[in-house]
Amino acid sequence: MHFVVCIKQVPEGTEVDIDPETGVLRREGADAKLNVYDTHALEAAVRLKEELGGTVTAVSMGPPQAEAVLREALMLGADSGYLLSDRVFAGADTLATSYTLAEAIRRLPPFDVIFCGMQTTDGDTAQVGPGIAELLNIPHVSYVTRIREMRAGAIAVDADTGYGIQTLRVKLPCLVTVTRAANQPRLPSYRLKQRTKDQPVTVWTSRHLAGADRSRFGLRGSPTQVERIFPPDRPTTRQMLAGTPDELSAGLIDRLREWRFL
Ligand SMILES: Cc1cc2nc3c(=O)[nH]c(=O)nc-3n(C[C@H](O)[C@H](O)[C@H](O)COP(=O)(O)OP(=O)(O)OC[C@H]3O[C@@H](n4cnc5c(N)ncnc54)[C@H](O)[C@@H]3O)c2cc1C
């Protein structure tokens, strides 16, 4: 079995610093960590490897410092790590990100399941997993809350549809995106930390993706352009309403209309 896990380095904390001039996230200097949903994706893959045998390959696209999350993945049970890092990959929207990851995965040994987190805590779009699956022309299931079993060339999972839980059996190879309900990720192991501390992470640039369409990488391959990103205004004025419950609810509705929430 070969499991591929896509992992992304994201800014630590919830306060994201945005450059007011360019509208792009200021990543330099910000503390970074492994996207929390990706720890659940990795855990799902490592558990299946422990149960069925095989290997886990972690893949990340990002600047050189994203190597840190691949090292963390090795400590959490991945067998190898690939960092896709090249200036031409920079500025990618979700389509270009999906394309670059899909082209890299095509060049790895054949896989059975690709695991992604359900979303990231910075970009937050939840589009990259399904994007990779579409580009590789394989089935995918999003928002998986439980991995039931994997056998006979298929994986059975529970997925949260927003209105209930669906149990699905999907033919391999496929891609699943994992929610936090799917498992409890393990902590990095000291034994694995010692064993993997000198293990290299493979860095691939666009040269390693020979044959891919370079015009689909990075900013050039991104049809989405961020026009403006800004923190929402948080009004600090407070109004106290007084009166009977009927007067209070009527007053509240008036305010909501006035502020165009209704
Ligand atoms: C015009 C434009 C310019 C942008 N410029 C930049 C920029 O300069 N720098 C920048 O960092 N971002 C940039 N972004 C944001 C970038 O598009 C997203 O961060 C990226 O496409 C991933 O989307 P997401 O974070 O919403 O991931 P989601 O779709 O929410 O992620 C779902 C899952 O996909 C996988 N995944 C997502 N991204 C990666 C990755 N990079 N490597 C491995 N697995 C991954 C993970 O498993 C993750 O849990 C830009 C976006 C736009 C539209």
Q: Residue 230 and residue 251: Cα distance in Å, rounded?
A: 31
Triad 73, 78, 81: Cα angle to 5°: 70
Q: What distance in angstroms lies between residue 198's CA and the mean position of ligand 1's atoms?
A: 29
Hey, which of 25, 116, 128 would you mutate to test ligand 1's pocket, going by the most ligand atoms within 8 Å of its Cβ? 128
pLDDT of res. 239: 85
Is the CB of residue 142 below 6 angstroms from any atom belonging to ligand 1?
A: no
What ranges do the domains of the chain cover?
A: 2-221
> Cβ(3)–Cβ(56) under 8 Å?
yes
Structure tokens, 199: 């293990």
Nearest-CA residue for ligand 1 atom 20 is 94
Binding site membership of 30 for ligand 1 (Cβ less than 6 Å): no
Q: What is the spatial distance between Cα 138 and Cα 52, in angstroms, rounded to a whole number? A: 22
Q: Whose CA is nearest to atom 51 of ligand 1?
A: 93
pLDDT of the residue at 166? 97
Largest CA distance in the chain: 72
Q: For the domain covering 2-221, report its CATH number.
A: 3.40.50.620
Q: pLDDT under 50 in the chain at which residues?
A: none
Residue 123 beta carbon below 6 angstroms from any ligand 1 atom: yes
pTM of the model: 0.87
